[in-house]
Amino acid sequence: MSALEHLTLDQATLAAARDGDMAACEAIYRRFEKPVYSLAYRLCAHREEAMEVMQDTFIHAFGKLHQFRGDSPFWPWLRRVAVTQSLMRLRRERLHRFWPARAPRPDEHTPDRTGEGLDLSAALARLPRTARAVVWLHDVEGYTHGEIAALMGRTESFSKTQLSRARARLRAWLDPEAEGSPCEVMIRS
Amino acid sequence: MRSDDSELTDLGARLRELPGLSPPRDAWPRIQERLRARRRAHRVVFPGLALAASLVLASALGLHFGRQGALGPANEQAWLAQSQQLEQRLRELDGAGGVIDGDQAALMDDLEDRIAAVDLQLAGGASGEQADRLLARRVSLLSELVALRSDYGNQSRSVAYIL
């Protein structure tokens, strides 16, 4: 992901996309579809929902391209949009709380195929949505507790608590014999 | 006990090593369609009279609810009750089915995004007048969403309006 962090868009593509050129938009989409979808999937743990978040992210980003300064890497800006869209969807669950179909359960089978990846991916998907978002944003995307708190409209201590509990649960699920039951882990942490 | 820093670092490293995922192949065509729909939606299209009337009503409701304390609920509980009624109406409309074209879907997405943005601000600990103003805004947006969803079953032309 490090190469992505520093990837800048050429000015011609950016200018064309700002003007609504669909080929330029597609070129940007092709370059970033995988990281955006991956991020959305890790936060949502649901393929269809991740697909919706990805769509919303690109729609929103293309509509706001004029706000992006072309002299900086594009991914941090786009990632911010993707994270915001994902978290807004989390919030939207409250709006749709009477519609069970709009709050899907995490996928039971993740697309990963490698041995350890499957276990970790499945464990991540089992976390509650907020805890999953906190652990992913902090441990993978490098957000600080302050940034997470601001994004979620919560306190830093809330973010820290969520992270601590999420890590404890993950460790317990990944290595139950070493960790004891999740409840014991929660008490210890 | 495996809760030391190295263990946490290891967990973070393992999470970062999870493989990237590819979206479905039909993702771009769907985005492209929504982009085109959104562009159409930003051009003013004159809808049928019935629809125009309902949108005027929605707009009036928005102004009405936007004027804090003018005629609407005067406290948080009343706004919340109003929100719940509108959400219930949305649920009923959602269950009624129907076909939504791209333009309408884009507008509904936009409204839902705005509602979610208001919810984010409310979750941020807004209180007093600010909370009241946000709740009024939420009711206004919900009203517009209800009006839009109410229309799509009856109309035969694509429609757009600018908020």
The lowest-confidence range among A63-77, A120-134, B18-32, B54-68 is B54-68
Q: What digits encode the pLDDT tens for the residues A31-47?
A: 999 999 999 999 999 89
At B11 the pLDDT is 87
Give the residue-averaged pLDDT of B15-22: 92
Considering A16-25, A151-160, B34-43, B138-147, the range whose residues carry the highest mean pLDDT is A16-25
Q: What digits encode the pLDDT tens for the residues A72-87?
A: 889 999 999 999 889 8
Say how far apart CA B35 and CA B17 lie, in whole Å. Answer: 33
Instruction: Using pLDDT thresholds of 50, 70 and 90, give the confidence band for residue B8.
Output: low
Q: Is A107 helix (H, G, I), strand (E, B) or coil?
A: coil
Q: What digits encode the pLDDT tens for the residues A1-11?
A: 567 777 778 88
The lowest-confidence range among B1-15, B79-93, B123-137 is B1-15
At A158 the pLDDT is 93
pLDDT score of B45 more than 90: no
pLDDT score of B117 more than 80: no
CA nearest A45 in B: which residue? B21
Longest dimension (CA), chain A: 58
Q: Do B15 and A29 make contact, defined as CB atoms within 8 angstroms?
A: no
Q: Do A117 and B18 make contact, defined as CB atoms within 8 angstroms?
A: yes
Considering B72-81, B103-112, B143-152, the range whose residues carry the highest mean pLDDT is B143-152
DSSP, residue by residue, B61-115: HHHHHHSTTTSS--SHHHHHHHHHHHHHHHHHHHHH-----HHHHHHHHHHHHHH
Say how far apart CA A21 and CA A18 lie, in whole Å. Answer: 7
Please report, rounded to a whole number, the percentage of residues in chain B having pLDDT higher than 70: 56
Residues in chain B with CB shorter than 8 Å from the CB of A88 are 113, 116-117, 120
Please report, rounded to a whole number, the percentage of residues in chain A having pLDDT higher than 70: 77
At B93 the pLDDT is 74
Q: What digits encode the pLDDT tens for the residues A92-121?
A: 664 554 433 344 455 644 444 444 444 899
* CA–CA min distance B76, chain A (Å): 17
* CA–CA min distance B60, chain A (Å): 23
> Cβ of B113 under 8 Å from any chain A Cβ?
yes
pLDDT score of B57 more than 60: no
Instruction: Using pLDDT thresholds of 50, 70 and 90, give the confidence band for residue B126.
Output: confident
Instruction: Using pLDDT thresholds of 50, 70 and 90, give the confidence band for residue A54.
Output: very high
pLDDT score of A138 more than 80: yes
At B58 the pLDDT is 45
Residues in chain A with CB shorter than 8 Å from the CB of B32 are 22, 25-26
Query: Does an H or E element contain A176, and which?
Result: helix A176-179
> Is pLDDT larger for residue A6 or for residue A25?
A25
Instruction: Using pLDDT thresholds of 50, 70 and 90, give the confidence band for residue A27.
Output: very high
At B96 the pLDDT is 58
Give the residue-averaged pLDDT of B11-31: 92
Range B130-134 contact pairs with CB under 8 angstroms and sequence separation of 24 or more: B131/B76, B132/B68, B132/B75, B132/B76, B132/B79, B133/B68
Whether the complex's predicted ipTM is more than 0.95 is answered with no
